[in-house]
Each structure stands twice: as structure tokens, then as C-alpha cells.
Structure 1
């Protein structure tokens, strides 16, 4: 039986770039695979999208759902010799704890390095558990909601972390759903957002929940959450585009989902400010107070007035254009 609990790697990237102009890059997770039931490996690549640039340093951290650990103890390792960079990810490799979740870290020392249009391997990494992992389908997810950007001072240095520039390679975005009712959100824009296309033959019903009750739907939207009734357990392998960082909310209850990242409730930024008073998630069709919005899950959120949730405050938003 496929468990609804899945390995949720939450990947935060802070890049420090020596730039003479604006450059776009792409950082990608590739080739994630289990070596055995206690060992998981994956690779991280980086490349320039338009012009080459000088990478000064990088710092990466990601967390995983402790339920997947299955009461085991974790260790995290960079695989020696796997990096194609001169400035290798060998600084601060290890595990800490935040929000009661294991946090996995690696970083580099400072040192200029040219990044071109040709993808280069940052490194290959290994996560080892003393117990078998509780799910065999890991979902690696980038997340910037919990990151604390750091600027390296010095002429010409600038931090250009861009969530749009972080992708999943051949791993995709698995979403695990149980038989019966699931409160979910679709975190990325798919080519076809119809329920018939997404759920194929397993869908029984789909509803949007609001102050006005439950509304049957046949098409889903990124940023909204839905009650989905399935006739069987389903694994959705989602691939598509990351869309808005702006989620509109109305006064009262809203069914929402975050897009590409997990977001602590304490880190929610809104316009106007301080309009969110309650957030509830769902487990086995029962609501509970939640302090974390997880990508792919649905949440009921109460807002004191109309406004917006800003998923990525690093991107300027002109509300006069809304």
C-alpha cells in the first residue's frame, strides 16, 4: 500500500554571484534514486541560461518530513569526486533541526568560478537512514519560504536567487493521494488543468470549498485547494510551469495551496499586512491547526479582508496594476 506520507526534500538555495549585469541561471535536481531501502542519492546541476557568469559561492539547505524517516537516524554526505566545480560543496555538510524537521545542508567556500551555458554537476549527495525509509517514491521540492537571504558585501557582488530558476530535471513532482477524500492543491501549471486529464479514471468528485459552501468543479487552478474524492490510491507525476507568486484571498474562508514551495505560516506575507487569522490543514478528512503550508496539500485560511498572499517577497509586485 502506497503511503500518503512522502519524502519531502525542501531545497533552499542562496547563490552569491560576482556580476557586472543581470544574469539568469538554472539549478536542477537530477537522477534521484534509491540505492537500497535505507540509502537515497541525487545530483544537483547548475548552468547559465543567457550569459556566462562568475559564481562566487553557494549555500544549500533542504529538509524532509520526519515521518518518512521511520524512527531512524539520518546522515547526509557529499560523494567525494562527484563535483565538476572547482569550488566544491564540502563546507557545512550535515544535518540540523528546524521546526522539528531534519534540515540537510551543504555549501561552498568563496572563490570565483565561471558558469557557462553547459550544465555542470555541483555534486552528488547521499542520504542514509538507519531504518528503511517509509516511502519508495521521494519528491524533491525546492523551497524559499524559510530561507534567510545573505548578501556578501564587496564591490560587484550580488545575490540573485530566483525560484523560477530552480527545476526538477527527470524527477518531476510526485503527489500521493489516498483512496477516498483528499484536500489537495496543484502546485504547478499543467498543460491541461482539467480534472479528467489530471486524475484519469480514479476521480469520483472534485469540490472547491468557500464561505458559500462546496462548489463542484471540472478544472483546477494553481493557488486554490480542492476536496478530491478518488476511487483508488493514486500517484500523480506532475510536470509543468511554476506560475504566480501571488494568491488572491477574499474576506472569510479561502481554500488555498502554495505553488512551488513549503511556507511556514509565520512567514506568510500579505497585502494588506496581518489579514490572516487562522489556517487549517486536513488529515483523514479532519481539520487541524497548521503552522506550515506544504506544497501539494490544501488549506483553509481565514482572512479579515480581501488581499493577496505573497509567496516570494523578493519579487517586487505593483498592486496598482491588479
Structure 2
């Protein structure tokens, strides 16, 4: 039978190229795509592996009949052996059972792969890169042979089943025709712990596909009508590819992955693949006892497998590393933090070991450091001022303990003198004494701060530092101005207090304040004072500044127009000096005067005092003393140039919102107590509902109207006041749904 093989090879030279030259080139070239970046020397030589993919075929010498002859390395007729799934894998054992002639003529492909794996490993170890290229090409050829099913059977050419010539038709002609359809994907590779077992596994797998190829041959003949004599038509090869395409592409995929795995295994076994931390050494230099310093190291998984690290730290008392366990996917980096926290005055040097799951040496990190006894300490290394409004001030202190036996002179270096102050900046501290300095945070800009202050001194060369952090934000208040006259105040410390800067939408470049001599024009606005301001339209005005939560207002006898602070204050939380000062109600303005129960931030109010005194505003006050208020209704002065009728008229305001769905609010003003009827009508004048009917005290009123049960449309609200003066007013409302 072996003699028969030699005759076939001599008379059918195309059989000398297993998978055909094209197939071997594809496998050798594409295998490099699966390699990790650490095997760049293989990736760089991919064109060499392609060009020399069939060199092994060209070395065949059919006169060489020795066990190691080239001709036997390209196949194994594994099914010629009984119970071949359990065939002994030791070549010497196999020869002792079946004899040298039978074993070599049945092919030595599995052992050829192992021989060349060993050679590749040795060549890599001695850095013989020229031989590495040739051996890597050759082992690719032998592995590819093992994935060609017809190289793994005694019926290699279909000669035993009437499929004569199938070997060349399948691996050469068909493959050359359809090579463009052979696609392979980049796949995970692995370190092969038992190469001979791995080879036999894929050879037995290949042998299991032989019958599928023979059946495909019979099918293609039947479909094409070809008898098997002469040249097969294209319809035959189309049918043969249709039936074998999936198993062929799968074989190429497995072959490229397997070849990359064998290269990878040789690379590791040669000691070429090592993972080194970056940096490989951390030197923490000399730090004072009681302090700590942290540095980092990066470990990149340059292998083709998942890297599982367990850190072995021989000196956990002085060095700490996190994380102590990590799972790093291939091609990914992991950062580890090493903290040096010396427990004694000494010099330290350790190797931190990163044990792992791969077949490469452990990873070592050399860490070094030393410590000394500092002659003074500070009580805190970090000051956090949190959040502060621009313009506000906050301070904290740092205590320095001089534990030396001599005088300590320190000088504080401030990296940001615009937003931080140090007081004092110099200290002279006697031996065995302590003193403090203050860090004052007075932000001038809106920003986030993370600064390092330095303590220079006369007792050595080490630098003592502490961190200062904080955030500054600009306080802003929104003013809701309405068309026409508004009573407003400035409830914060502004950066520019001119009217034109704060209220560019004002009709005038001045506001009106009120004093003992009446109204006065003001171009610069002050805290605590109320102002009349006139605007052309309703809008929101935003003003930046520094919050003002407390204020003491000077009151004159008679009417006073007062301001507010940053935060609303209920009237009952105000208090006066003297405590028995008699005040009127507080009057706000919303197109008409109303009695206020709260001083709203940004609004201004009228209040009448029976004599001079002070009114104290405090947003955080919980004053229970109360005020002396005469609740008799009064009419504060009207806006400048406006008749006092403004405070004597009945007013029915337009509902808000309008249109509405389904709820709206109706506001009206009574200058005096009156009998009131508030009624809703539909478009036809039919009364829908009476919202109020009865006697009401004077002042601002508000009624809610719910139109949930009404259809969409136009409605009218009528306010009617009975009495000597009498008053009737109607507004139009639109309900939408």
C-alpha cells in the first residue's frame, strides 16, 4: 500500500501540494492576525510565511525512506490503525506495536508538527530569527495538512470508494476556483499545554469529514452528469463547493487559529514573552515618618489570553498595593497603586510579585523607599472649604508642632494670593512649642480650587505641603419686573450698583427712593432701601452678587420705603429697636397696594413708624417677641407723579393664566370693606357659577376658578360691588381643552 502511494505521487505531481499552494498561503498569512501585539516579529514576517508556505513540499526526496523523511510528514493514514481514536501518541510505542515500515508509510504528520514546534522554540530562545521564519512557515504547512481531511485517511484519493482523483479536485482545482469565498475571522488563541494531544484531536476531527467530501463528490457528479473521466465541468465544481463550502471554511478557520496557537506556544516556551510592569521600579525616595506617598504602575496584558493576577506583597506594613487581584483581558492595561507608608525610620526595598494563570514567568515590581524622623508636624494635610459664594469669607487654621530641640522658622508659600490669604505668613516657633496660621478663602472669581501650599522651614531640606480645596459660585437673584411701576430693592451686595448696570430694561437711568423730604432720584442703589422703578415690559432680570442675609434699617417717623434681604422673612420674625416702636401694616405693591405678611427677597415695602428707630432683618431669625403693629388700614404714598387715586380704586385684574385649562386665578382689590359678588357667565350671558357673594374686608383678594366640568370656550367674570360708590367690571376668559 505504501508503494502505491509513491506511484501516485510520482504520476500525479499536483498531489505533492496539499491544500494546494493557494490554501497554504492563505493559512500562513492569516494566522498572524490572531497573534498578540507582543509577537510583532511574527506579524512583520507575514508575507514571508505566505511566500514560503509550500517550501516543505519542495523538499520531498522520494529516495529518502528513513523515518524522518520529508515525504511522510504531510499526512497520516490514521484510519489504517485499529481503534485509531485511542492510538498511542508516543512514536516509539507505536513503532514497537506496528513496525517501522507501517508507521512511516502511514505518515508522521503529528510528530512532524511536534519536531518543528521544538525547533521553533529553540530558535526563538537563541534569537535565530532567520531560522525562525523558515520553521514558522514549515510548521504552518504541516498543521494545514492535518486540517485537510484527505490527508488523514488511507482513502486519501477516493481510490477505495470509486472517487478516484477527488484529492486534487477538492484541494487544488475547487480551492483555486473559490478561494475568494474563503473568509476567516480573528479568533482567540491559546497556550497549548499538550501539543501532541492537540494535534491528534484535530486530525481525528479531520478524519471525521472524509465521508462528507466523498458524498459531495458523488453528488457533484450526479448533478453535473460528469462520469469521472476526463476534465470535470464547472457545474461539477459548483456542486462540490456548494456541499463542502461550510466544512472547508471551518477547516481554514481552525487551521489559522491552531497555527497561531502553536506559534504562541513556542514563543512562550522560549521565554520570549514576558510581561513587565511600567515602570519596573518605583523609588519613593526619602519621606518623613508619619507621612505617606502613592505612585502607580501599569501592567498591560500583551498575551493572547485573559490574565488573572494575584498580588503577593511581602511587606504589607510599609507598602500597600491596590487592587490586590485583577482580571485583565488581552490587550488591556490595568493600573495598580502602590502606597509607601513607612512604619519606622529605615531604608526599604521589596519585590512585589504578581502571580498569574499563564505559562510565563511571574511579574516583579521593585519598590524602594526610605524614611526619616521629621522635626515638626502639621495637624492637617487637607483643608476643604466646600462651597462658598464669591465675595464671602471663610477661614481655617493649621497648627504646627515643633518637636525639635531648636527654634523653628517657617514661611508659608501661597500659590493663589488672589483668592486665598495666609495670616501670618511667617512664624517663629520655639523648641517643643506650637503655633498656628490661618488660611482665608475669599474667592474673587467663580471656580473650583485644588491647591498645594508649601511650608518652607529652617530644619532640613524636606518640603512640607498641605492641600487646600474649595468651590466658589456667584450668588444670583432673579427679579420679576412687571410693566409700569414696581417696588423693588437690592437684597444682595452687588459688584456694580448703578441702575443702568443692574436694570438695563428700565425706562429711566434712575430710581426713586423716599425720605423725610419725599421722593429723591437715585442712580446708585443701596441695600436696605426700597425704590420705585418703572419698566416698559414684564421680564426676568438676573443680578449677581454676594448674599445679604441680615440688615439693620433706619426708620424715620412717618412713611418709610424699605428693602429686603437674601431670603424671605415673615413679618412676625422682624423686630425693632426700641422694642416698643409702633409700626403700621407693611404694604407691598402689585399694581395696587396690599397688606404683606412676608418680606419677599427683591421686593420693597411701605411701613409707617410713630417715631425714629431701627428695623432688624435676619433671614435666620426665629423672633418670638413680635412687633407693635397698628392694623388700621392706611394708604401709602403713590408712585412719583401719580394721583393717590391709585390706592383708592377698585380693581379687577385679568385672570392668570389665560387661556387656562382647567384652573385659573382671579385677583381683585378692594380699597375698603364692601359687599361683593363675583360671578362667571358663558358667552350667551347665562350665569354659570357665583364664586363669592358677601361682605369682604378691604385689600387684595384672590379666587381660584376650576373649569373642569365646563366645555371649552369663552367665559366672562363679573365683579360687582354694592354701596354708595358702586363698582362693576368684567373680564374675558378663555377655557381650552
TM-score (normalised: structure 2)? 0.21
Mark the structure with the bigger radius of gyration: 2
Specify which structure has the higher proportion of strand: 1
Larger RCO (CA within 8 A; separation ≥ 6): 1
Q: Which of the pair is proportionally richer in helix?
A: 2
TM-score w.r.t. length of structure 1: 0.45
